Structure 1
Amino acid sequence: MRAVTISGAGPSGKLSISSLNHPNAGQSDVVITVAAAGVNRADLLQRAGYYPPPANAPDWPGLEISGTVKRVGLGVSRWRVGDRVVALLEGGGYAEEVVVRETQVLPVPDGMDLVDAAALPEAACTVWSNLVDVGGLRAGEWALVHGGSGGIGTTAIQVAKALGAHVVTTAGGPERAARCAELGADVVVDHRRQDFVEEALRATDGRGVDVVLDLLGGGALGDNVRSLARGGRLVVIGMQQGRRGELDLSALLARRGTITGTLLRSRPPEEKARIVADTEQNLWPLFASGQVRPVIHARIPFSEAQSAHDLLESGEAFGKVLLVP
């Protein structure tokens, strides 16, 4: 089969097409013929040598796919050959076929295009497990979503609104800000010219937000804490502004706030199975009804995978970039 692999080491690493053996299904595995693979920032980090795959995962990138079931292991009961599915992977999604545990496979939501569905698994599982499960967002609360124009952000805005919450989000430039507002954000902060802490406090009459979903990391740590309400929860899922930041503990204590850092890719199988099951139960009806929808910026052929990475790295994409075989 064809797969998009990494050639070269470190920051100079590039993507190229390779010929690899077809995967085999173990007892509890599903082999899927790939219709599309989602491109994520974690893939860019892996290509640059900063985010190696977990043990026993394929060494080529790709954390989510959509496709059709080709084979199933002898112990698999839910899935059948021909089923339209999506899957959350530890790696290896940039290929014509993948093998994955049955517990990390979900059905394509009713009425959704098979290719577009590749945008769902990573974003949906990340948003549910962090904004709602860890962050505890509830109806009537305020959420601050950083990076509202990205794959995670566009999903988080819609999910928070569907749950009855209010949303402040950040985006770069008036056009992107307007599109975030169209997705349902109550307040959009143009981070190029506005201070998100001031805008979050203004939106909440000085109270602050209940949950921050943060992709920025160290560089935004202090400001994120300043934006929290009493009992607020800061959930850090990325480090786009660095690994280290300075924290005024008195500000955190005064707010009785909590800070949690999470990763999805490296979690053990039983935790991923729970997250996938919870995501299907709680978010899949929203996708099926059209209340939440994937936002697709571009579909790019496998043969142009490097340009897909360049596009995501440029910051020009609004929503998800997908690779198609």
Structure 2
Amino acid sequence: MGIDIPTLQAVIRITAPGGPDVLSQFSAPTPHPKHGEVLIAVQAAGVNRHDCNQRRRGPSPEHSDVPGLEVAGLVVAVGHGVAPEWLGQRVCALTDGGGYAQFATAPATHVLMVPEGLSWTEAAALPEAAFTVWHNFFVVARLAAGESILIHGGTSGVGTLAIQILSALGHPVFVTCGSGEKVAAARRLGATLAMDYRHEDFADAVLVHTAGRGVDVILDMSGGKYSAANVKALARRGRIVHLSPGEDAALQVPLRALMAKEAVVTGSLLRPLPDAEKTAIAERLGVVLWPLISSRGVRPVISQTFALGQAQEAHRAMEEGHHIGKIVLTTASSLT
């Protein structure tokens, strides 16, 4: 293949619990793919809120101290049980950490070909958001044809992709955003209704727009702060799915209103899902989402890119919260 696999590689490690300054670059052994895995020469790696949360908690024996849950690059080696045809393929992958590096491993069943026309940066921004959207809407919330959705954080990496995917599949998508600029961006992406939560009551706006019915599914990344308003905005037998525990505060839900609507309040964590469930999601993405990227122009929205050695700056940008779409790290090499 003409690609040298070095003994050592550059990685970004979490050195202690704390702010972005605890991220440091080190030399570390290049990993070898285990049974069922591929080794990817990383060209870009997505930065996610989970990475920041892991950094704040600090190193632990449970997870790699090299953060990064999604990458894009070339497959340069395969483990036992993986077809050699993977070698040389342009791929993006969901990883269990280790993405902030020049090389990363991933189960072959969690790897997808880079859709035609996407850059490395765009491809690296796909896996975490795409897996999250599919799992939470179609597995956890059991979204049915034509049902409506409200997304808090409509211009996040997940939100910007979800607006496009769900709109393309025929679902009315309502979103909340934190500024007028973000509201405008969400509308351009296809949101049915975008609201600045700082200046308007989103629950009232949703009820007006739906003639009092409410929405069928709410995806909430903001912890439990909107519990009462979420129930108010929810349709009968609607579902609220939480993606973030916030500060682990107790969830305060208005029980009578919840009972009257026969509503469901739940949540999910993507990283701990069993490998078999992630494999099933990857298969559905290949069948349903990848054709939308090719035929309907669904694309990850890239806000900023940083070099691998600028991981501290990337985390600061993530936590400042001004970005629209994804923040991505890139490596120095350029492969085709």
> Which residue of the other structure, out of 305, 320, 324, is the alignment partner of 2:326?
320
TM-score by length of structure 1 reads: 0.95
1:86 aligns with 2:100: no
Distance 2:234 2:49 in 1: 26
Distance 2:138 2:261 in 1: 20
> Which residue of the other structure, out of 34, 38, 46, is the alignment partner of 2:46?
38
SS for the counterpart of 1:48 is helix
TM-superposition CA deviations, 1:154-195 (whole Å, max 9, x none): 011111101101111001111110110000001111011011
Range that drifts further, 267-276 or 203-212 = 267-276
1:49 aligns with 2:39: no
Question: CA shift at 1:218, angstroms?
Answer: 1.4
Matched residue, 2:4: none
| Distance 1:79-1:322 versus aligned 2 partners, 3 A rule | farther
Matched residue, 1:114: 120
SS for the counterpart of 1:141 is coil
The correspondence of residues 66-85 of structure 1 with structure 2, limited to 5 A, is: 66-77=72-83, 79-85=85-91
**Structure 2 alignment gaps of length 5 or more:** 1-8, 332-336
Question: CA shift at 1:248, angstroms?
Answer: 1.5
SS for the counterpart of 1:144 is strand
Amino acid in structure 1 at the alignment position of 2:258:
L
Query: Does the CA contact (< 8 Å) of 1:166 and 1:185 recur in 2?
Result: yes
Question: CA shift at 1:104, angstroms?
Answer: 0.8
The correspondence of residues 1-325 of structure 1 with structure 2, limited to 5 A, is: 1-11=9-19, 14-49=22-57, 55=62, 57-77=63-83, 79-240=85-246, 243-325=249-331
TM-superposition CA deviations, 1:275-321 (whole Å, max 9, x none): 22122221111112243111000111011110000001001110000
Amino acid in structure 2 at the alignment position of 1:96:
Q
Distance 1:243 1:92 in 2: 30
Distance 1:53 1:30 in 2: 25
Amino acid in structure 2 at the alignment position of 1:60:
V
| Distance 1:32-1:184 versus aligned 2 partners, 3 A rule | same
**Structure 1 alignment gaps of length 5 or more:** none
Question: CA shift at 1:237, angstroms?
Answer: 1.0
Distance 1:203 1:291 in 2: 27
Question: CA shift at 1:208, angstroms?
Answer: 0.6
- Name the Cα RMSD after superposition: 1.7
Query: Does the CA contact (< 8 Å) of 2:20 and 2:313 recur in 1?
Result: no
Distance 1:79 1:10 in 2: 42
SS for the counterpart of 2:311 is helix
Distance 2:146 2:182 in 1: 25
Range that drifts further, 299-308 or 76-85 = 76-85
Amino acid in structure 2 at the alignment position of 1:29:
E
Aligned pair count? 323
Name the % identity.
Answer: 44
